[in-house]
Amino acid sequence: MDSYYDLKHGRRLKIIFALSLLGVALSLGIFFNGLSISLTDLKQSQSKQLSDVALGVVRQQYSRSVEGLVSVEEAKALTIDILRAMRFGRNGYYWINDGDGILLMHPYADKYVGTNVSGLVDPYGVQMFNEFIRVSNAGGGLVHYHWPKPNSEENVAKISYVASFEPWGWVIGTGLYTDELEKEIQNYGYRVIGAAFAFAIFFALASLFLTRRLFAELKDRAIKDPLTSLYTRRYLNETVDDLQLKIEREQDLSVSVIFMDIDHFKKVNDEFGHAQGDLVLAQTGLKIRKNARPDDICVRYGGEEFVAVTLSSNADTPLLLAERICQAVNSHIFQHGQQEFSITLSVGIAFHRRDETIEQTINRADKLLYQAKAKGRNCIVQETDE
């Protein structure tokens, strides 16, 4: 009978879980895009810083020539040697050309050194050295073009930062290959996103677990009586349709309703107080649960009234169950101060007829209960006894 509730809440939990993962995926996608932009900006900023390092070397040697410590040609030659030897990153290096397009130094393009390279064009029509000169004359900046990696002939997308050193008419450049930047972004991003996604999965699963427990607690509160832990009358009303369909499908099963009432319960409340009365109700519910079978639907019907709906192919089952419950309830001794007392039950048992509803069977069991009360209480009246 609980499967309907479990299915309904299970679908809701799956929807919540799916929406949570979708939200995480969208958030991570936005994060990755922002990360890519941030790292690209960072690398481009680093290119400018590396260019400033090269300009610092040039200025140092220029100052020495101005001071007369070395000649201008010696200062230029020493500067070229220093920058030719400098490396950074995986494939980072410097090159120098002058304002007329003559390549003065390039550690991986010796064949062009000393020649005019202003006419060189990359596969996409970019005259990169003319761009270097134009951008450096404008105050320095980034140039996008394609150029082979060291010891390779294949042209690869590259971003270079170029700056000019006006006293010598030099253009000094450095840069990074975009595929390496993209790979670095991906590696870093995947690590971060992987960790974030793992945390998100853990958080989602933990939330799912806690939500399932919350739903289970809420379901119990909605369909179970808090005092006796038996099902509520509302739950019984909501499940009778399923029960009706089940007995229509399985003709060999018979349904019976056991209607029980605590005898003289008002006297218990009047003599011992309502707290003791609650204890009696709780203990009665416990005895009913312990003696009922797993498929029996045991309900606190209202006040001190209880109902057990049973499914069985054996006509003796309801009476045997009622006798077990009555004996268990009657044998329990309650203690109130120095006083001891026990309680009894009056019971009515009705068998479901194929041409009636479950509610009608419950009503007949209720009438049989009143017959048990009229007989003096502490007894069981079954339909066959009418």
Which of 158, 183, 208 terminates a domain? The answer is: 183
Of residues 332, 361, 330, the one with CA closest to residue 345: 330
Mean pLDDT of 70-75: 95
Burial of 54 (0-12, 13-18, 19+ CB in 10 A): buried
Which of 183, 216, 242 terminates a domain? The answer is: 183
High-pLDDT (> 90) share of the chain, %? 57
Q: Is residue 214 part of a domain?
A: no
**Residue 362 confidence (pLDDT):** 94
Mean pLDDT of 44-72: 90
Q: Is residue 165 part of a domain?
A: yes
Domain identity same for 172 and 23: yes
User: Can you read off the two tokens belonging to residue 353?
Assistant: 């007829």
Q: Is residue 210 part of a domain?
A: no
**Residue 34 confidence (pLDDT):** 62
**Full residue range of the structural domain in which residue 153 is found:** 8-183
Number of domains in the chain: 2
Domain with residue 95: its CATH number is: 3.30.450.20
- Alpha-carbon gap, residue 208 to 5, rounded angstroms: 17
Which of 168, 183, 198 terminates a domain? The answer is: 183
Note the pLDDT tens digit of each residue in 234-277: 889 888 888 878 877 877 788 899 999 999 999 999 999 999 99
Domain identity same for 250 and 358: yes
Please state, rounded to an integer, the average pLDDT across all residues of the chain. Answer: 86
Q: Is residue 12 part of a domain?
A: yes
Q: Is residue 348 part of a domain?
A: yes
Domain identity same for 115 and 23: yes
Domain identity same for 173 and 242: no
Domain identity same for 173 and 260: no
Q: Is residue 141 part of a domain?
A: yes
Domain identity same for 20 and 139: yes
What's the pTM?
A: 0.51
**Residue 4 confidence (pLDDT):** 44
CA distances for 191 relative to 32, 41, 194, 205, angstroms: 11, 20, 5, 21
**Residue 140 confidence (pLDDT):** 92
Domain identity same for 367 and 251: yes
Domain identity same for 236 and 333: yes
Q: Is residue 46 part of a domain?
A: yes
Domain identity same for 258 and 379: yes
Domain with residue 328: its CATH number is: 3.30.70.270
Q: Is residue 40 part of a domain?
A: yes
Amino acid code (one letter) for 41: D
